[in-house]
Amino acid sequence: MPVTPPDISASDLDAAAGFLRSQSDLLITSHVNSDGDGIGGGLALLGLLRQLDSRSQLLLQDEPPGDYDYLDGWDEIIDLGNAPAQQHDTAVLLDCPNFDRIGRVGDQITTDAALLNIDHHPDNERFGAINLSTDVVCSTCEMLYHLAMHMGLDIDRPIAEQLYTGILFDTGGFRYSLTTPTSLEVGADLVRRGARLDLIADRLYNNATFDSVKMIGRAIDSMALHHDGRVATMSLTHEEMERGDSEASVNYGLWIKGVEVTALLKEERVGHYRISLRSREDVDVSAIARIFGGGGHARAAGCRQEGSLDDVLTRMLAAIEQMLP
Ligand SMILES: [Mn+2]
């Protein structure tokens, strides 16, 4: 049986468990543009709370991407476009370093609401009444696994697949450095409990559209090397962005030997760039992202910038250069 990492204290787990057991009508939510960790974790928590006969709902600002429709409970996710106007005085925030990350879902939470914060970002602001937050776990889903085990709840096949999805997503298939021995043990236990690892990996990694694969081609076409080949940048124009999802493109810079940091500049709106940063091992890209008002993890982070492509690129490269070893 996998053990709880020493950095999660039993008293924090007890406090979170007490919170979940004492509520009967909980709002569960995660950050804007929710990903596999937030969606898998949200659905898993819905299932776990059902075992406590507790009513809860999973509300996200944005309609979740259809890639996750293999998860049990998929139809139960509510996005803000389909949600009745309501005010909640208790909520669980998953995978959010601060309250603002939930976006406009925040308008449905009273200002004095009791919040349970479950997260694994190093810059977590411990904004909840109860905070289950440490960066020694690879994902919010791994944290939920430890919480479920601590509470003696049943992780059945549907919940195992929801949690496994978040863990696989956040570790890049158990490859990123935030993958610990415990993450691997948790993954193994979830497979033992019925998580279909082949199906989940296939849906996460081999599920792109024709347009988004072509977009990877355009991003690679734009690639340039800087700082003696230690930084690779790519960019996509607003026009290119409209043709499909570009999320998969960012990692290709790290395919190149010697590249320490890669950045993908995506023009979300004309003159407005969303920048995704990835690093190999020495550079903490979350520190770079924070300079520009963004955040994330040491190996994967992001921020936004306005201006011309040249200006934004110049600014990013100057900041990256400061961090190069
Ligand atoms: Mn996460």
Query: What does the DSSP assignment read for 129-148?
Result: SEEEE-TTSS-HHHHHHHHH
Residue 5 located in a structural domain? no
Shared domain for 229 and 265, answered yes or no, is: yes
Per DSSP, helices labelled H in the chain are: 10-22, 36-51, 140-151, 157-170, 181-192, 197-205, 210-221, 238-241, 285-291, 309-323
- Indicate the pTM of the whole model: 0.85
Q: How far is the CA of 308 from the centre of ligand 1 (A)?
A: 31
- Cβ-Cβ contacts under 8 Å for 54 (sequence gap 6 or more): 20, 21, 23, 24, 25, 26
Residue with tokens 């004492």: 22
- Cβ-Cβ contacts under 8 Å for 45 (sequence gap 6 or more): 28, 56, 58, 92, 94, 144
- Band of pLDDT at residue 241, cut at 50, 70 and 90: confident
Q: How far is the CA of 228 from the centre of ligand 1 (A)?
A: 33
Count structural domains, the chain: 2
Q: What is the CATH number of the domain that holds 113?
A: 3.90.1640.10
- What average pLDDT score do residues 172-194 get? 94
Question: What is the structure's pLDDT at 1?
Answer: 59
Shared domain for 194 and 238, answered yes or no, is: no
Shared domain for 189 and 43, answered yes or no, is: yes
Q: How far is the CA of 106 from the centre of ligand 1 (A)?
A: 19
- Check: CB of residue 133 under 8 Å from CB of residue 7: no
Domain that holds residue 104: 10-205
- Cβ-Cβ contacts under 8 Å for 155 (sequence gap 6 or more): 145, 148, 149, 163, 189, 190, 193
**Which of 205, 238, 261 is the last residue in one of the domains?**
205
Shared domain for 182 and 215, answered yes or no, is: no
| Paired tokens of 314 | 């110049």
Neighbours of 318 (CB within 10 A): 10
Question: What is the structure's pLDDT at 266?
Answer: 95
DSSP element (H, E) containing 233: strand 231-236
Q: Does pLDDT of 303 surpass 70?
A: yes
Tell how strand 25-30 and strand 88-94 pair up.
parallel
% helix / strand / coil in the chain, to the nearest 5? 45, 20, 35
**Which of 188, 205, 222 is the last residue in one of the domains?**
205
Residue 229 — left, alpha, or beta (φ > 0 → left; ψ -120 to 50 → alpha)? left
Q: How far is the CA of 286 from the centre of ligand 1 (A)?
A: 14
Residue 224 located in a structural domain? yes
Q: How far is the CA of 139 from the centre of ligand 1 (A)?
A: 5
Shared domain for 199 and 226, answered yes or no, is: no
d(CA 232, CA 259): 6
d(CA 231, CA 53): 52
Q: What number of residues does the chain have?
A: 325
Q: How far is the CA of 254 from the centre of ligand 1 (A)?
A: 21
Q: Does pLDDT of 44 surpass 90?
A: yes
Q: Does pLDDT of 222 surpass 90?
A: yes
Residue 256 located in a structural domain? yes
Q: How far is the CA of 176 from the centre of ligand 1 (A)?
A: 12
**Which of 205, 223, 257 is the last residue in one of the domains?**
205
d(CA 28, CA 59): 6
- Check: CB of residue 190 under 8 Å from CB of residue 160: yes
Q: How far is the CA of 38 from the centre of ligand 1 (A)?
A: 7
- Band of pLDDT at residue 212, cut at 50, 70 and 90: confident
Question: What is the structure's pLDDT at 117?
Answer: 98
Q: Does pLDDT of 197 surpass 70?
A: yes
- Band of pLDDT at residue 2, cut at 50, 70 and 90: low
- What average pLDDT score do residues 185-194 get? 97
| Paired tokens of 153 | 């709840």
Q: Which residues pair with 300 in a beta bridge?
A: 278
Q: How far is the CA of 45 from the centre of ligand 1 (A)?
A: 15
- What average pLDDT score do residues 197-222 get? 92
Question: What is the structure's pLDDT at 56?
Answer: 95
Question: What is the structure's pLDDT at 5?
Answer: 76
Q: How far is the CA of 318 from the centre of ligand 1 (A)?
A: 28
Shared domain for 197 and 248, answered yes or no, is: no
Residue 4 located in a structural domain? no
Q: Does pLDDT of 246 surpass 80?
A: no
Residue 1 located in a structural domain? no
Write out pLDDT tens, residues 286-299.
999 999 999 988 88
d(CA 285, CA 258): 16
- Check: CB of residue 237 under 8 Å from CB of residue 245: no
- Cβ-Cβ contacts under 8 Å for 40 (sequence gap 6 or more): 68, 71, 141, 161, 162, 163, 164, 165, 166, 169
Question: What is the structure's pLDDT at 170?
Answer: 94
Write out pLDDT tens, residues 52-78.
998 999 999 999 999 999 999 999 999
Question: What is the structure's pLDDT at 271?
Answer: 95
Residue with tokens 């909520």: 91
Q: Does residue 295 sit in helix, strand or coil?
A: strand
